[in-house]
Copies of this chain bind each other. A is one copy, B any other.
């Protein structure tokens, strides 16, 4: 059974606000692909928009250009090995979903393949065509048109990272294949503004 619940679009930016490494999924016709991306960020709350860096030489960019959409899936610690692996090979010659036995659900708005098992959340995104930044900086802008998250780790618009849900937590790439996960959640109000 799935623990995924719909996330209000006004809360979608929070899913990537803290800088998780993500999986980018794409599809066009019968072709589909999945790759890793460490570089993404929200750029607007409402409408929810993001920017993400996807190399122009990738098969993913080809599929996004053809379909106008893509998925952003946020892997948990249990998928770190896979995240590293799918970032190191091209989907031009192999269907990585089949190769790794990944079960994809079909996105509600754009029909993008989305992972839930092993992931904490997903966002379905519609590309906003920006040929200059796509070319000069490999930076793609997109509007989030649907989002969902595992309610065991994201509830009422907020991440809840605790010692009892480590397997469901997001992963953050430090470079060189090293990752960290979020810990020690605290509220800034508890750390009064003070001189360093």
Binding site for B on A (CB under 8 A): 11, 13-14, 17-20, 38-44, 49, 51, 53, 77-86, 100-102, 115, 117-119, 130, 132-133, 137-139, 141, 157-159, 161, 166, 172-196
**Residue A185 contacts which of B101, B132, B174, B190 (CB distance < 8 angstroms)?**
B174
Q: List residues of chain B with CB within 8 A of the CB of A172.
A: 17-19, 172, 182
Q: State how many angstroms separate the Cβ of A76 from the closest Cβ of chain B.
A: 8
CB-based nearest B residue for A195 = B101
Among the listed B38, B78, B166, B188, which residue makes an inter-chain contact with A177, where contact means beta carbons less than 8 Å apart?
Answer: B188
Number of copies: 2
Asked if residues B84 and A43 are in contact (CB atoms below 8 Å), the reply is no
Please name all residues of chain B whose beta carbon is closer than 8 Å to the beta carbon of A141 when the two chains form the complex: 133, 137
The majority secondary structure among interface residues of chain A is mixed
Cβ B193 vs Cβ A85 within 8 A: yes
CA distance A52 to B133 in the complex (A): 14
Of A42, A141, A187, A190, which is in contact with the most chain B CB atoms at under 10 Å from its CB? A187
Query: In whole angstroms, how far apart are the Cα atoms of A146 and B61 in the complex?
Result: 31
17 contacts between A and B (CB under 8 A): A17-B172, A17-B173, A39-B43, A41-B51, A51-B51, A51-B137, A51-B139, A77-B184, A80-B188, A81-B192, A81-B193, A82-B194, A130-B133, A178-B186, A179-B186, A180-B183, A181-B183
Q: How far is the CA of A46 from the CA of B183 in the complex (A)?
A: 31
Residue of B nearest to A177 (CB): B188
Q: Given A44-B137, A137-B49, A180-B161, are A14 and B196 neighbors across the interface (CB < 8 Å)?
A: no
Chain B residues, CB < 8 A from A86? 193
Query: Looking across the interface, which residue of chain B has its beta carbon closest to that of A37?
Result: B41
A183 near B184 with CB under 8 A, answer: yes
**CB distance B39 to A42 under 8 Å?**
yes
* Best-surrounded residue of A20, A42, A175 (most CB of chain B within 10 A): A175
